[in-house]
Amino acid sequence: MNEISNYLKSGERIDDLQLDGLKIIQNPKGFCFGIDAVLLSNFIKLKRNESAVEFGTGTGIIPILLSGKASFEKISAFEVQPEVADMARRSVMMNGLERRIEIIQDNLIEAGKYFEKGTLDVVFSNPPYMSGEGGIKNDDTLKMISRHEILCSLEDIILQASRLLRFRGRFYMIHRPNRLVDILTLCRAHSLEPKEIRFIQPFHDKKPNIFLIMCSKGGQSDLKFHDPLVVYNKDGSYTDEIYRIYGMENITVFEGGNRREGE
């Protein structure tokens, strides 16, 4: 393996994920990952021989985190922005994960060119939270594409997930509660039956601001609600469950980017 610094480009930094020696390349001027990516990676369940696809990998954080937690066969991760895909690819190489993680620089709506219908075990996504029409547009193109449904829609994500998944395959996503009805309606319309939901709230006395969902391709109707996950104690420190999810005492590395949770 080359010296770590050889993987960096101007303006980038390397963050230690404090998990099995894994590291990631990020650019503070772009869209860095946040707590939502970590929570989704903890929610996703992958078995030893399963293959998965991610829609919109960004820096590649979720596949890289999963590589330290699960014994999956392979994750293929789509990223539409060339410079961001290149950064994710270099992070994969830096960690020696080329055999387990593949970065595909293309729009997820083209997923059918790369995979046959009904062949995947898992699809997951940490998608843009804002619809193409709503929300404040950010002047920075990278951040705008990451936050708004500009190059793909929520239905594009759900439709492509349904096409790729085998019967009883699983779809995982994190999103905002104000899109819950849209998500449930679209999932059922495309044969993805909602099976598990967990709401995430910043404090015990605050309403949820994000939620996790798992759907089963062709599954029967039987929706389970997990206990809500509370992120912060009253004094602003992380709750014990958040520390267990991160699996470490020092989790400041996950606070340096543009955190989407609670925006």
- In CATH, the number for domain 16-194 is 3.40.50.150
**Among the residues of 201-258, which ranges form H helices?**
240-246
For the chain, give every domain's residue range: 16-194
Q: How far apart are CA 226 and CA 253, in angstroms?
A: 27
pLDDT score recorded for residue 29: 84
User: pTM, whole model, 2 decimals?
Assistant: 0.89
| CA geometry: angle 192, 194, 198, nearest 5 deg | 140
* pLDDT averaged over every residue in the chain: 88
Helix (H) or strand (E) holding 200: strand 192-201
- Dihedral of CA 229/51/55/91: which sign? positive
Contact predicate 112/118, CB 8 Å: no
Q: Identify which has the larger pLDDT, 149 or 155.
A: 155
Query: The tokens of 149 are what?
Result: 């449904």
Q: What is the pLDDT of residues 20-34, one digit of tens each?
A: 899 999 998 887 888
